[in-house]
A and B are shown apart, each in its own frame.
Chain A
Amino acid sequence: MVEILNVSNLSTAFQSDYGSKQALKNISFKINEGEVLALVGESGSGKTVTSLSIMGLLPNNAYIQEGNINLIDKKNNQVNILKLTDDKHNLIRGNDISMVFQEPMTCLNPTMTIGDQIVEVILNHKKISKTKAVKEMIDLLGLVEIPDPTQRAREYPHQLSGGMRQRVMISIALACTPKLIIADEPTSALDVTIQAQLLQLLMKLKNSIVSKTSILFITHDLGIVRELADRVIVMYQGRVLEIGSVRQILKSPLHPYTRGLLAAIPALAKKGHRLATISSVVGDEDIDTAYPLTRLKDGRQVSLSPQALERITNG
């Protein structure tokens, strides 16, 4: 399996007048080609900061303390994202890594037709003629199952429903067939039916056209994780608690926090019970989360530093 993104020992902190606060504490993970990696955790656990660090879009008061993010780009070069200049980074954004946002209602420019917006992305990264780009745009809209693409392309975002707009956002993310798509809670703002349709679409796309594209799927919803993901990262307080396959994490979670998270899913079948809650809130430091728990090949559970872990897995 080819590894396309490698985040190692990443620490990101926010500087404020009250001192600096670490939002990501020494996190490491990898994404393989074509895999869907789900990033789960409660609000404030560092999911979005992780994606912003990868995109290089941290706010001004945030800075990377240490670590590396290495990406294999389309030309098979390894680039360290954190060491790029802004211009170089713009070549990667939208081209090698693209993003689908949480809020489809406000993520499209209200003054441009959706067709123009997709064409603009294509022309920004590919050296092709405008007519060719328009053709690609129509194909993309068809790909994300928007009915009557030629007609729809001429419409403005306000003429489309939320689900349609999210489809357009997905088509923009796919426009340059990127290596990695970061989907930051792409279905949270939509109602359940539309959510299901979009997830079906994503799964269909994943199994066919964009099988080589990896997806980093940020979500709260463990149901979606089960449906869509190959592997899962559980984050808490800026640390990676647990990494494993969907099966491992959902069936036999190692970390007590993960167990709590799974127990907190409300079930309709159990009537008359109080819903399970997780006692700790963001800001508690009492959970021992120094290093992620990892499963070794022989089934043992260990909490080791990444360096030590590498030694074990390599030898």
Chain B
Amino acid sequence: MKNFSIILKRFLLNKGSAFGGIFLLIIIIGAIFAPLIAPYNWNEVDTGPRLAPPSWDFLFGTDIHGRDVFSRIVYGARYSLSVGVISVLFGIVAGSIFGITIAYIGGRVDIIGSRVIDVMFGFPSFLLSLLVVAIIGVGLWNVVFAVGLASIPHFARIIRSAALQVKEQPYIEACVNMGFGKIRIMFNHILPNIFPIIIVIATMDLGGAIISIASLSFLGLGAQPPEPEWGAMLSSGREYMRYAPWTMIYPGLFLFLTVMSVNLLGDRLSIALDARQSVDKGKV
């Protein structure tokens, strides 16, 4: 608990991460309690006049079908955050298994595995996700899978190099001397020691994943109407931008703020988790 309060203090002392943390907290609470917060049903057509500008009744205005944009954004937070987290989780789990395995076994396995990573790096990751969606078809969860898959080489490469470093530590050598099997050493002993790195790169990547998924949804490959995913909302508001900019501005703004908050928090995370830093001496 003491450690937790130190970490919290480190976050709050920095303006950027304090803002990021508070904003994300609001978004998460909003997503969880969406039914209580949203004034209207997100999918109910003609709750008000079509393309009505923001007012006290419709905080962020209404879209072409007369649906309340604010309610849709609140519900959309459920999608954007969860799909981002799930795709990063998928990428990081697969990347960790791959990276640690090739690093620990080494030799030919490492050479071939690293070349596979290099080949996957050859494709821009967005293109890679597009390719995967093209193969497995359109849909929000397919996009989540595709974005996660495209992030694997990035994770695998960082985790491989971290694992290589830990592998040379005497305590891993000691594990071999105690007669532990390879799997036990890899996931019981190497993995916990690179966990701080994993947490930091996962948070850093979360923002990118949210953007990628929103982009693919914007292109119509991810969430399908009427789902209130922010990228999809941007896409459907596109045609009315000149008459009703609020249909695009608010989903875009929330997407931007969420991603920025995640990144601000991620930047701070490595410092906040570092036991050697001192809060008081102004080094943080």
Contact residues of A with B, CB < 8 Å? 55, 57, 60, 87, 89-95, 98-99, 101, 103, 106-112, 120-121, 124-125, 169, 172
Contacts and interface: CB of A to CB of B under 8 A. Distances in A.
A106 B179 contact: no
Nearest to B178: A94
B176 interface: yes
A124 B176 contact: no
A98 B177 contact: yes
A89 B174 CA distance: 15
Contacts of A107: 170-171, 173-174
B178 A109 contact: no
Interface string B152-181: 000000000000000001110111111111
B170 A60 contact: no
A57 B173 contact: yes
A109 B170 CA distance: 9
Given A57-B176, A94-B177, 5 more contacts: A89-B179, A90-B180, A99-B177, A101-B173, A172-B174
Given A109-B189, A109-B193, A111-B193, A124 B170 contact: no
Contacts of B173: 57, 101, 107
17 contacts: A57-B177, A89-B179, A90-B179, A91-B179, A93-B177, A101-B170, A101-B173, A106-B170, A106-B171, A109-B171, A109-B189, A109-B193, A110-B193, A112-B192, A120-B178, A124-B178, A124-B180
A120 B184 CA distance: 10
A93 B175 CA distance: 10
Contacts of A101: 170, 173-174
B193 to A, nearest CB: 5
B27 to A, nearest CB: 32
Contacts of B171: 106-110
A60 B179 contact: no
Contacts of B192: 109, 111-112
B122 interface: no
B178 A172 contact: yes
B107 interface: yes
B189 to A, nearest CB: 5
Contacts of B107: 60
Nearest to A172: B178
Which of B179, B184, B189 has the most C-beta atoms of chain A within 10 angstroms of its own C-beta? B179
Contacts of A109: 171, 175, 189, 192-193
Interface string B54-91: 00000000000000000000000000000000000000
Contacts of A121: 178
Contacts, number: 62
Given A60-B107, A111-B192, A106 B178 contact: no
A5 to B, nearest CB: 16
Contacts of B178: 93-94, 98, 120-121, 124, 172
Nearest to B196: A111
Contacts of B193: 109-111
A89 B195 CA distance: 30
Nearest to A158: B275
Contacts of A94: 177-180
Give 4 nearest A-B pairs by CB, closest first.
A94-B179, A94-B178, A93-B179, A111-B192
A95 B179 contact: yes
Contacts of A92: 179
B284 to A, nearest CB: 21
Interface string B214-241: 0000000000000000000000000000
Given A106-B169, A111-B193, A90 B174 contact: no
A103 B168 CA distance: 14
Nearest to A86: B182
Interface string B179-204: 11100100011001101000000000
Contact of B177 (A55, A60, A91, A103): A55
Contacts of B189: 109, 112
Contacts of B179: 89-95, 124-125
A103 B192 CA distance: 21
A112 B173 CA distance: 16
Contacts of B174: 99, 101, 107-108, 169, 172
Contacts of B184: 124
Contacts of B180: 90, 94, 120, 124
Contacts of A87: 181
A125 B173 CA distance: 18
A91 B181 CA distance: 9
Contacts of B177: 55, 57, 93-94, 98-99
